[in-house]
A and B are shown apart, each in its own frame.
Chain A
Amino acid sequence: MGLVWEGIKKAVELLWTLDPEVLGITGFSLKVSILATLVSLVIGVAVGMALALNHFPGRRVLISLINTGMGLPPVVVGLFVTILLWRNGPLGFLEILYTPAALILAQTVIATPIIAGISLAAIQQLPPDLRLQILSLGASRWQMVRMLAIEARLPLMAAVMAGFGGVISEVGASIMVGGNIKGSTRVLTTATVMEAGKGNFDTAIALSLILLVLTFAVNAALTHIQQRDRPR
């Protein structure tokens, strides 16, 4: 118990004194994950809405693929992105392996299916006649898509938060494509793994506390959205 207690005390001290290393890692983590989430948001919402509003052959297969993608093990993503970016891999010419760009790419691959899947469900859970109601009020197809997105704004925000929550907390992909390089590709999770491995439990706990607060904030917001009244 003493180890844990000491660790927590030091961790609070590190956070309280705004330890530059801890702050740096946190800031970088947020930057990478927010960017990856934003890219996933654009692709994921577009794909999710397109799947919700159109019927075409192969749609079910695509939806199954996305649902599978929502549970993609980050370490598998890490492996494939590493192979893709490897010096003589298909995208090796980009020379971005072990750079922040590789981290963003891997996290985007993880978050996109999550956001696409939840967006699809968000649009599908709107009343089926709502599309017809919007069209019958005189909307063009694009205006209808926009109005549906506005109606589904809360579940769409939930999609974004779920995507963000997925990438800020994953470690497998980040460690493989980033390599946990200090000052370059070190994020909260990879740093925690490393510090714990070195026996620096205080720093590891401090980093974990930050991750916990972020996770808690994301989940509190999700719960708030889920518990809200639905319009008639």
Chain B
Amino acid sequence: MILEASGLTVRRGGVQVLDIPSLALPAGQVLALIGPNGSGKTTLLQTLASLQAPASGELRFQGRPLDSRAGTNAYRLRVTMVFQEPLLFDTTVARNLEAGLRLRGVPGPERTPRVREVASQFGIEHLLERQARKLSGGEAQRASLARAFAFRPEILFLDEPFSALDPPTREALIDDLAAALRQTRTTAVLATHDQMEALRLADLLAVMQAGRIVQTGTGAEVLNQPVNAFVAGFVGMETLLSGVVTASGQGLFRLAVGGREVESVGGPAVGDAVLVGVRPEHVTLALGPEAGARVASSARNRFQGTVRRIVPRGPFFKVELDVGFFLAAYVTPQSLEALALAPGREVVASFKATAVHCIRT
């Protein structure tokens, strides 16, 4: 563990805004803090980067506690942070990139090759002599990331570094950052409210809610097995169903929801009230029974229902259905056309029992 935090709390105006009993950062891994705005991601990031002092708690870097001013200053020389705004200095790109090296007393002849190296890593070699204030938003954020990588920090803290960029610029930059992180094996903590961004860059996800970490795990764990309704909603498990268990056995159980029965894997007792979730990408749509819906399928759950609403979702469409309960499904534009989906259309929705995740019993 390169960085460990224990009993971390931060108070602002007498109110506790952060409460992290313990958090450990494995060396070389990327941890994404995800959560809505105001959930404490930035506060946690700044506290971990020792840019703000916690009200209580302890940080240990490589096993040694950061308990003195000298210790904190030494720590700050080994980690760095990239913000949402590029925050470049009003000088050339090259001078910006060498800022951290200068502060570490790296002599000029050694700085130049390092600056060239990170500039080419982030595709801004041709901009080195440009004034920072003449850069576009994407170029500026590239320069900001390159400035952080230039002095080879041991931990990189990234606070929503892409959220101010337009989608194509963001896509390209996420790829370059992912490559740089892999290549340098830099430990990183990324705060973001975008789960796709988190999944692409991070090895581990930590979901934050109201100043606490409510779930930590791999992307698959968090997306498919959210610990509560908040996490489920945040990670896009759009269908959340609460009902009562009517039958249970052989690793399967049945749940009564809105006059229908949903089958799911798991073993809660009959009579238990449970909350289950289904991810929209796990729901398949077909046309009504007359259109041959009786084909053999391993999907244990099949429901006839009506399309209520169709919402564009980037490369997909989200189809909201009423099948006795609310159910959301993702379809491609091709499927939307092939099935002639429109509000009012009757469809059959199916999903496997294993796609139903039991959130709470």
Contact = CB atoms under 8 A, between A and B. Distances in A.
A231 B132 contact: yes
A137 B51 contact: no
Given A132-B46, A133-B83, A147-B89, A232 B137 contact: yes
B76 A127 contact: no
Contacts of B104: 138
A138 B85 contact: no
B191 interface: no
The interface centre, meaning the residue of A130, A139, A232 with most chain B CB atoms within 10 A of its CB, is A232
A231 B90 contact: yes
A4 B151 CA distance: 67
Given A147-B89, A151-B90, A230 B99 contact: no
B81 interface: yes
A231 B99 contact: no
Contact of B87 (A130, A140, A143, A229): A130
A54 interface: no
- Chain B contact residues, majority secondary structure: mixed
A136 B157 contact: yes
Contacts of B85: 127, 129, 232
A143 B49 CA distance: 18
Contact of B88 (A129, A150, A229, A231): A231
B357 interface: no
Nearest to A141: B73
Interface residues of A, number: 20
A136 B49 contact: yes
B182 interface: no
Interface in B222-243: none
Contact of A232 (B49, B51, B133): B133
B99 A232 contact: no
B46 A140 contact: no
A137 B147 CA distance: 9
Given A132-B51, A136-B76, A232-B88, A143 B103 contact: yes
A135 interface: yes
A137 B100 contact: yes
A221 to B, nearest CB: 17
Contacts of A133: 81, 83, 87
B132 A140 contact: no
B134 interface: yes
B164 to A, nearest CB: 10
Interface string B27-62: 000000000000000000010010100000000000
A130 B51 CA distance: 12
B305 interface: no
Nearest to B136: A232
B46 A231 contact: no
Contacts of A127: 85, 87
Contacts of B90: 150-151, 153, 231
Contact of B80 (A130, A138, A150, A230): A138
B135 interface: yes
Contact of B103 (A129, A130, A137, A232): A137
A77 B151 CA distance: 52
B313 to A, nearest CB: 31
A138 B100 contact: yes
B140 interface: yes
A137 B90 CA distance: 16
Given A133-B81, A137-B147, 9 more contacts: A127-B87, A129-B85, A136-B76, A137-B80, A143-B103, A150-B90, A229-B133, A232-B86, A232-B88
Interface of B: 46, 49, 51, 73, 76-77, 79-81, 83, 85-90, 99-100, 103-104, 131-135, 137, 140, 147-148, 151, 157
14 contacts: A127-B85, A133-B81, A133-B83, A135-B76, A136-B80, A138-B103, A138-B104, A139-B103, A143-B103, A229-B134, A231-B131, A232-B132, A232-B135, A232-B137
